[in-house]
Amino acid sequence: MAARDHSHRHNHTKKVPLFPFLSLLCFISIFLLLSLIKKTSVPSQSRQSFQFHRSDESDPGVSHRSCDYSDGTWVYDPSARSARYDNTCKEIFKGWNCISGNKANARDIINWRWKPRQCDLPSFDPESFLRKYRDTSIGFVGDSLNRNMFVSLFCSLKRVSNDLKKWRPAGADRGFTFLQYNLTIAYHRTNLLARYGRWSANTNGGELESLGYKEGYRVDVDIPEGTWGDAPRFHDILIFNTGHWWWAPSKFDPVKSPMLFFERSQPVIPPISPDEGLDIVLKHMVLFVEKKMRSGSIKFFCTQSPRHFEGGDWDQGGSCQRLKPLLPEQVEELFSLKNNGTNVEARLVNQHLLEALKGSDFQILDITHMSEFRADAHPSTAGGKKHDDCMHWCLPGITDTWNDLFVEYLNNIKVRN
């Protein structure tokens, strides 16, 4: 009996392991290790809450100071940069080729450098861009101002890589692939983003006819124009713009050929104004793009490019003869909403854009204010038209700076993601 008791006590002693003590020790070690990692790691940010920062080149994952790239001034510095391309780039539309068109200050336009107050905006390196965005497709979607920006990017890249193929992916108006890098850039022309076309009253009558409308333009606010409808599925990066055609009485005469809006194939009754239509179109198009684009894609929206007509609009003898950027007080005189001047369109459109993009995962490329200064950078009489072209931009020119901004934002997004 004593032996059994001894044996029982012996077995019981053998069954008391060191496991609880070892477990506690491991738990404490893991806790300390995780605490150390948490202290030394860089917090991640989703794209929705992303704020653009200039990064220290020695540690690209760490941000230091935020920068408002739209707040700055133009500095004349002819030694700061050389032209990244010249007037021999064949993709430059003839009316924008101010050097070939003999504009007086055509070669001087690029000597003005945009200097943000809080940081620097570096000129992007085309060769580095091609390497970094290998196997990527980039689409510009919008009116001729987006084509202006597309051509600037193309000519910059072509200067360092001439091994390319011309083609038009997914309904694009024009496009190119840089074969060595499998990098595609394309331009999808669309004036309103939404589908539109001529409309006439029919013999059967209808709600619009009963209100006295006989003809105009039908705008389907919930249907993207076919030129870019497939672009979100194809491109990895999209850059949108719109606005100039929405304030174009010469295209959509409010009496003779008004914009008539349709939703779900039915006319919007009572008829609404173009600015109300723009709000509805933007709402639908933002949702369409966010739904159709692949996960991980990047979406930009450019703010409005300003016009610089002085002395009247384009069809009223307006001109843009300045050879230097405007002073801040001159900018306010031309663009302040309270002055209701010829060129207030830019800031009006931006109010609609910024409201529509709230809560979306679009990145906003604010090119408006920096461009408001550059009354000197339009083709003017060198555009070859019967009137001064004070809307589009000379190439080489200010849209090169827009691309500097685009690439800077893009690089920061890629670093953070």
Q: What is the DSSP string of 299-367?
A: EEEE-PPPP--BSS-GGGT-B---SSPPPHHHHHHHH-GGGT-TTTHHHHHHHHHHHHHTTSSPEEE--
Q: In this predicted model, what pLDDT tens digit does every residue of 100-136 receive, in sequence order? A: 999 999 999 999 999 999 999 999 999 999 999 999 9
Q: In the predicted model, is pLDDT for residue 6 greater than 70?
A: no
Sorting pLDDT into bands at 50, 70 and 90, what band is 30?
very low
- Report the pLDDT value the prediction gives residue 43, as an integer from 0 to 100: 29
- In DSSP terms, 63 is beta-bridged to 55
pLDDT of 294 reads: 87
- For residue 182, how far is the Cα from the chain centroid? 22
Structure confidence by residue, pLDDT tens digits, 336-355: 888 777 788 899 999 999 99
pLDDT band for position 386 (cuts 50, 70, 90): confident
Contact status, residue 382 vs residue 100, Cβ threshold 8 Å = no
**pLDDT-based confidence at 26, cuts 50/70/90?**
very low
Tens of pLDDT, residue by residue over 185-240, are: 999 999 999 999 999 998 777 899 999 999 999 999 999 999 999 999 999 999 99
Q: State residue 18's pLDDT score.
A: 47
Tokens 């008791």 correspond to: 5
Tens digits of residue pLDDT in 299-325: 999 999 999 999 888 878 889 999 999
Q: Can you tell me the distance from the alpha carbon of 292 to that of 408, in angstroms, rounded to the nearest whole number?
A: 26
3-state secondary structure of 149: helix
pLDDT of residue 13: 41
Smallest CA-to-CA distance from 392 within 241, 283, 206, 265 is with: 241
Q: Could you give the CA distance from residue 155 to residue 138 in angstroms, rounded to a whole number?
A: 15
pLDDT per residue over 70-104, tens digit each? 999 999 988 756 678 999 999 999 999 999 999 99
Predicted confidence at residue 416, as pLDDT, reads: 57
- Residue percentage of the chain with pLDDT more than 90: 69
- Domains, the chain, in order of start with CATH, read 73-189+281-416 (3.40.50)
Dump pLDDT digits (tens) for 150-176. 999 999 999 999 999 998 888 999 999
Q: Which residue has the higher pLDDT, 46 or 261?
A: 261
> Band of the pLDDT at 4, cuts 50, 70, 90?
very low
Determine the 3-state secondary structure of 109 from DSSP.
Answer: helix
User: Which residues, 6 or more positions from 24, have their beta carbon under 8 angstroms from its beta carbon?
Assistant: none
Mean pLDDT of 408-413: 93
> Is the distance from CB of 220 to CB of 199 less than 8 angstroms?
no
Flag whether pLDDT at 36 surpasses 70: no
Stated pTM of the model: 0.83
pLDDT of residue 270: 95
- In angstroms, the CA 333 to CA 373 distance is 11
Residue-averaged pLDDT of the chain = 85
Task: Annotate 8-66 with DSSP letters as a single string.
Answer: HHHHHHHT--SHHHHHHHHHHHHHHHHHHHHHHSPPP--STT---EEE-TT-TT-EEEE
Contacts of 357 (CB under 8 A, 6+ apart): 282, 286, 301, 364
Residue 285 Cα distances to 107, 292, 298, 350, angstroms: 39, 10, 15, 16
pLDDT at position 251: 86
What is the average per-residue pLDDT within 10-34? Answer: 46
